[in-house]
């Protein structure tokens, strides 16, 4: 257990930041589920809309530092690749 005031403050700050990070990651996962559902249904229009929402959410999360910028770029690239495969089939 922390004894100094600065250590106690750091514990409080870490808890707040962890909650924010978890919320941001949860938001990404929700958007990804929506995108995957659209892909499974082969709904190109809904997939395109879900893709833009997911890409924006991933970019915002990377800008905040929750997700590394290269990891965000990689995820966006993979999503775009999946969407392009759907578009090529249709």
How do the pLDDT tens digits run along the chain, 90 residues long?
899 999 999 999 999 999 999 999 999 999 999 999 999 999 999 999 999 999 999 999 999 999 999 999 999 999 999 999 999 986
Give the span between the Cα atoms of 18 and 22, in whole angstroms.
6
- DSSP E strands: which ranges in 1-90? none
Buried b (16+ CB within 10 A) or exposed e, 11-35: eeeeeeeeeeeeebeebbeebbebb
3-state DSSP assignment of residue 40: helix
Backbone angles phi, psi at 22, to 5 degrees: -65, -40
Domain containing 67 equals: 5-89
CATH number at residue 23: 1.20.58.110
**Residue 42 structure tokens:** 């082969």
Which pLDDT score, from 0 to 100, does residue 50 have? 98
User: How many structural domains comprise the chain?
Assistant: 1
């Amino acid at each position: 257990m922390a004894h100094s005031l600065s250590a106690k403050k750091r514990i409080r700050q870490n808890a707040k930041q962890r909650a924010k990070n978890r919320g941001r990651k949860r938001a990404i996962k929700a958007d990804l589920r929506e995108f995957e559902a659209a892909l499974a249904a082969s709904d190109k229009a809904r997939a395109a809309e879900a893709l833009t929402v997911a890409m924006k959410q991933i970019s915002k999360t990377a800008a905040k530092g929750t997700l590394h910028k290269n990891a965000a770029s990689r995820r966006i690239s993979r999503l775009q690749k999946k969407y392009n495969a759907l578009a090529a089939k249709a």
